[in-house]
Structure 1
Amino acid sequence: MKNQIKFTFLLLVFILLSCNRNSEKKDNYVIKNTANTVENFDEFNIRFHKDSIFQLARINFPIEGKSIDGFDRNEWNSENWEILKTPVVDKSENKEYEHSLVKSDTLVVEKYWIKDSGFLVERKFKKVKNKWFLTYYNDVNL
């Protein structure tokens, strides 16, 4: 009788364990609502300058500023846009240019220039609905 109880008990445990193994595993996915997430400028800055598709998506053409090269003056649009590759930096290591950077929670303004040369690059990034966009780009080379 004891053997029959042990056998029944072991059989019951085996059945319970087997049932648990055969049950479908369901993955739990967490869907993050990014609609109200405030975008970090540093992360945006890296992606903006590495991903050309992302860059074009974060510029609402036409933007303010111009491309001025000698006598050629053009307003920026999606057809003449040149993909930017150089990220915004706090301090430039390039000693050929002067550099300034002004950062706030909603605006980043960066300038490069060579004193008394007619060379100036200025760009402004603005936070719009918690996402960063390039809103101004002035590239002057006289």
Structure 2
Amino acid sequence: MKTIKLLTFGTLIFTFLSCKQNGKTQKKIEQNEILDSITINQINVPENVDLEFEVFLKYFNQDSVFQISRVRFPVKSKELDSDYYVIDKIVKKDDYKIIDLTIDPNSETKQYNKYRQQTILKDFEAKIEIRGIDNGIHQYYEFEKIEGKWNLTTWGYLST
């Protein structure tokens, strides 16, 4: 009788440990899949990147590490709530999503989601406006040259 109890107890412990180890293995696999899906693009950025806004923007779009270094966190942005009221939102570095403001040459001729993108440059400020053509797309991104370096300072997602 003692042998059966001991055997049952040993089987339960073995089963418990196997399940627990399997969970750790599965968790490790999931973490590796997440890390593999994150792409970090880092390229060599020239020292004179801030001389012209267009040059800065090229590297801002291509290099995710450079992009994050040129965002003034925390950022106050604007977006629409579910009732279409403009609300302010504070975005921390951990909540920031990499953006690409490269102009799509087909943006005005697409079948759906057509838009125009323009850059308005004034001295030490730049604003990129993205406006939909016959749709509710409305976004903007504002940059400011601070201490000789271009930085993203705010944006708005006001699409309806």
Tell me the TM-score normalized by structure 2: 0.54
Distance 1:37 1:49 in 2: 13
The answer on 1:111 being equivalent to 2:129 is yes
Distance 1:42 1:103 in 2: 10
Amino acid at match of 1:112: I
Q: Which structure shows the higher strand fraction? A: 1
Q: Which structure shows the higher helix fraction? A: 2
From 64, 69, 78, give the equivalent of 1:52: 64
What is the total number of aligned residue pairs between the two structures?
Answer: 106
Give the corresponding residue for 2:54. 42
Q: C-alpha offsets along residues 106-130 of structure 1, whole Å, 9 cap, x if unaligned? A: 1111111226754311011111111
Give the corresponding residue for 2:43. none
Q: 1:54 to 1:124 in 2, by over 3 A?
A: same
**Structure having the higher Rg:** 1
**Structure 1 unaligned regions, length at least 5:** 1-33
The higher relative CO (CA closer than 8 Å, separation ≥ 6) is in: 1
